[in-house]
Amino acid sequence: MNSQQEFVLRTVEERDIRFVRLWFTDILGYLKSVAVAPAELENAFEEGIGFDGSAIEGFSRVSESDTIAKPDPSTFQLMPLGVDDSGMNSARMYCDITMPDGQPSWADPRQVLRRQVHAAADEGFTCYIHPEIEFFLVKSLDTDGRPPVPTDNGGYFDQAVHDDAPMFRRDAIAALENMGISVEFSHHETAPGQQEIDLRYADVLTMSDHIMTFRYLVKEVAMKNGVYATFMPKPFTDHAGSAMHTHMSLFEGDINAFHDPDDEYNLSQTARQFIAGILTHAPEISAVTNQWANSYKRLMFGNEAPTAATWGVSNRSAMVRVPTYRPGKVSSRRIEVRSLDSACNPYLAYSVLLAAGLKGIKEGYELQAPAEDDISSLTRRERRALGYEDLPSSLDQALRLMERSELVADTLGEHVFEFFLRNKWREWQEYQSQITQWELRSNLDY
């Protein structure tokens, strides 16, 4: 037993932890959990917890259903008191999913990301992530298909004093900080009921764990405040959707590999090639970074969302924004990817972004000139005339591009790649089969 495992066992005993939740996600990013009693924890470290993998979305076939969840002691955290109704002290750990012989499961999104972390390490890089996570607070999720009602009528940076949940952000930040997840900023976003909480940077695997914890805590805290949180990309026709703008940087040891003091934008060749990799492969990775049919309602209309694979300096209409460099802040030289929405599976989304950027570095991709236009205000013809490649405008288009992508297939692995496509094609077919209210209003009297 290693020192981290010993620390967990000692803490569980000293803090009178009654049960420990073991967490992992399925391929679509839904959080899964099994609770173990403290007496079973030592055995869980040694042998893992067996479960029926065929019952988890995309994990395994019935004929190979035995699957093992092995807790990662480095992710141990006490759960904040008052978040749930158990009234007992509890904790959580993330798990790595393995097969009975101990080999990593090809279906585990966390293992998919870990492979890219190792690929970056082989090139001498550590990837750091800082997400700005947007979501809506609404009065109910049970709307029978009608638009939800937001909890306030506030706008960007408003105090939103006429709010059904005035203490929500305070409570949510306290819960996050109690679990060791540092928050940099929080504020009201542009749309009624829309919130943003920005997490302090961490390495990409740790941050993906943080994002899954974030979603869980935000939903629980919202319910404690008598409202509900949704990470649906675009629940309102007339308002901007919810993004997860993600700041990325690569470090070589303690040195920021994205910084070059002699470049006009203080961007190193490594940073330029990394950006070029993301932009080159943006259309084919969109089905992963924006995985829902609803995601493209946000991207397609350009309201606070990129419509084309472009980059710009402080240009918030570009897909990749390079923030203005502050003298003396070498460690903060980074890029911001603005296409992701907050309903992606972070393990898979960051895997394909990292893989695309690393490919740009390895193969020496050339970065074109930055975009200076308000890209979202341009017509499709104008964007094409300027040489900008549009992002997919539907899940259907994104999946067709993903199907032909060697990069995505290699990054996700055959199992995740094939299951993801099957699942998303089924979603698209179900979406297409609907007869919408718009069609009935427009065509019923023909």
| Binding-site entries for ATP | 184, 247-249, 316
Q: What distance in Å separates the CA atoms of residue 134 and residue 343, rounded to the nearest whole number?
A: 10
Q: What are phi and psi of 98, to 5 degrees?
A: -130, 165
Enter the tokens of residue 102: 């101990």
Residue pair 304/377 in contact by the 8 Å Cβ criterion = no
Q: What distance in Å separates the CA atoms of residue 68 and residue 98, rounded to the nearest whole number?
A: 5
DSSP-assigned letters across all residues of 322-339: EPPPPTT-GGG--EEE--
Q: Which residues are annotated as a binding site for Mg(2+)?
A: 132, 134, 189, 196, 245, 336
Q: What distance in Å separates the CA atoms of residue 422 and residue 410, rounded to the nearest whole number?
A: 17
Q: What distance in Å separates the CA atoms of residue 4 and residue 73, rounded to the nearest whole number?
A: 6
240 to 75, 207, 298, 337: CA distances (angstroms): 34, 25, 7, 17
**With b meaning 16 or more CB within 10 Å and e meaning fewer, what string describes 429-444?**
eeeeeeeeeeeeeeee
Nearest to 132 by CA among 303, 340, 353: 340
Q: Which residues are annotated as a binding site?
A: 132, 134, 184, 189, 196, 245, 247-249, 298, 304, 316, 336, 338
Position 196, amino acid: E
Enter the tokens of residue 329: 């802040």
Enter the tokens of residue 59: 């994990």
Enter the tokens of residue 178: 């109690």
Q: Which residues are annotated as a binding site for L-glutamate?
A: 298, 304, 316, 338
Q: Which helix (H) or strand (E) holds 286?
A: helix 269-289
Strands 183-188 and 77-78: unpaired
Q: What distance in Å separates the CA atoms of residue 347 and residue 25, rounded to the nearest whole number?
A: 9
Nearest to 422 by CA among 401, 407, 394, 403: 403
Residue pair 27/58 in contact by the 8 Å Cβ criterion = yes
Q: What distance in Å separates the CA atoms of residue 234 and residue 35, rounded to the nearest whole number?
A: 33
- Distance, CA of 288 to chain centre: 10
Q: Which residue has the tokens 């950027």?
A: 357
Cβ neighbours for 121, distance < 8 A, ≥ 6 positions apart: none
